[in-house]
């Protein structure tokens, strides 16, 4: 019975992760109606740190030594800090929510290259084919988008998010996989909070419109995304190879685009839809069991 439950959880976790992660881009668009990017993120992280502190106080986890604290800070700045800042700034600079996931969607290509080099994970020819197919799918979705002006800064921010989440995923697997998730997350989110608060103080007006929409978006992003989906991501990283976990990010642009179409009326043409199909096929190839 327990084995069946574990097997079901292992199969359902990637699907749940993709759906939850995709809501982050949609929720961010709602949150940005009430505050500037770093200001909104500072509020979000403040709530997350408070919730994680309660969880840690109840669970009384083992806390890492100074070296582990340092690794957790670096991972937090990469996985949360610069990644969330990049995606939020991209949406704030006129990148549609359905497309703000596209550049970070290239993560599996970088993950596979770096994982094979630094983590010793063997990437098979079939997996490389799937990764390239996914890259082609992302480019098909991106084919007619403006890359200059205000949107150009948005795409640049998305590029920063791509590099940050890629290196952060590998760093988390290499240096933080043995740290208790409760203690590790408290440290990581505190590091991100300091980054956002400092950035908001230096570069933004810090004006907040406390509407019901803003509050609901921040609560969803803090509880479901920063605690739920990040916890699920780290669980997947511990149980699977980095390449297989990273390939799930190919599905995020497609799922986000469908959500954005229903909520904001953001439309995709036939070529972009074909690109989403290619991304889905890429995930199947990359995650195919090895013989």
pLDDT digits (tens, 9 = 90+) for 87-99: 999 999 877 776 6
Mean pLDDT of the region 246-269: 78
Cα first-last separation, the chain: 27
In a domain, 200, yes or no: yes
Report pLDDT digits (tens) over 263-283.
888 777 788 778 878 877 776
Number of domains in the chain: 1
Q: Is residue 13 included in any domain, yes or no? A: no
Residue at 249 is within a domain? no
Judge whether residue 124 has pLDDT over 80: no
Note the pLDDT of residue 115.
65
CA gap 258, 143 in Å, rounded: 17
Residue range 23-48, pLDDT digits in tens? 988 999 999 999 999 999 999 999 99
Rounded distance between C-alpha atoms, residue 187 and residue 64, angstroms? 10
Flag whether 60 is in a domain: yes
pLDDT of 234: 75
- Whether residue 31 is contained in a domain is answered as yes
Q: Is residue 250 part of a domain?
A: no
Does the structure show a pLDDT above 80 at 5?
no
CA distance 109 to 116: 11
Neighbours of 224 (CB within 10 A): 15
pLDDT at 106 over 70: no
Domain-located, residue 291: no
Query: Is the distance from CB of 68 to CB of 174 less than 8 angstroms?
Result: no
In the predicted model, is pLDDT for residue 251 greater than 60? yes
Q: How many CA atoms lie within 13 A of 15 on its CB side?
A: 5
pLDDT (tens digit, 9 = 90+) per residue, 192-225? 999 999 999 999 999 999 999 999 999 999 999 9
Residues β-bridged to residue 208: 35
Provide the domain limits for residue 207.
21-122+146-241
Q: Report the greatest alpha carbon distance in the chain.
A: 57
Q: How far apart are CA 68 and CA 129, in angstroms?
A: 37
Distance of alpha carbon 192 from alpha carbon 190, whole angstroms: 5
Contact status, residue 252 vs residue 161, Cβ threshold 8 Å: no
Residue 128 falls inside a structural domain:
no
């Amino acid at each position: 019975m327990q084995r069946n439950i574990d097997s079901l959880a292992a199969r359902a976790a990637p699907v749940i992760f993709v759906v939850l992660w995709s809501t982050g881009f949609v929720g961010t668009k709602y949150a940005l109606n009430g505050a500037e990017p770093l200001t909104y993120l500072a509020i979000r992280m403040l709530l997350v740190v408070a919730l994680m502190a309660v969880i840690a106080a109840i669970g009384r986890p083992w806390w890492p030594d100074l070296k582990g604290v340092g690794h957790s800070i670096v991972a937090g700045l990469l996985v949360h800090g610069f990644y969330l800042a990049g995606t939020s700034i991209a949406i704030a600079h006129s990148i549609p929510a359905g497309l703000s996931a596209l550049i970070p969607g290239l993560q599996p290509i970088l993950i596979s290259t770096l994982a094979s080099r630094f983590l010793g994970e063997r990437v098979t020819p079939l997996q490389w084919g799937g990764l390239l197919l996914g890259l082609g799918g992302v480019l098909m979705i991106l084919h007619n988008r403006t890359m200059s002006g205000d949107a150009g800064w948005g795409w640049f921010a998305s590029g920063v998010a791509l590099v940050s989440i890629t290196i952060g995923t590998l760093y988390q697997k290499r240096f933080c996989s043995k740290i208790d998730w409760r203690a590790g997350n408290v440290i990581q989110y505190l590091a991100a909070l300091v980054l956002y608060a400092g950035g908001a103080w230096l570069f933004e007006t810090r004006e907040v419109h406390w509407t019901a929409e803003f509050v609901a978006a921040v609560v969803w992003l803090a509880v479901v995304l920063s605690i739920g989906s990040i916890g699920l991501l780290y669980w997947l990283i511990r149980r699977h190879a980095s390449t297989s976990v990273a390939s799930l990010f190919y599905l995020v642009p497609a799922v986000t685009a469908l959500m954005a179409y229903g909520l904001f009326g953001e439309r995709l043409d036939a070529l972009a839809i074909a690109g989403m199909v290619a991304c889905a096929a890429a995930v199947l190839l990359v995650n195919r069991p090895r013989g």
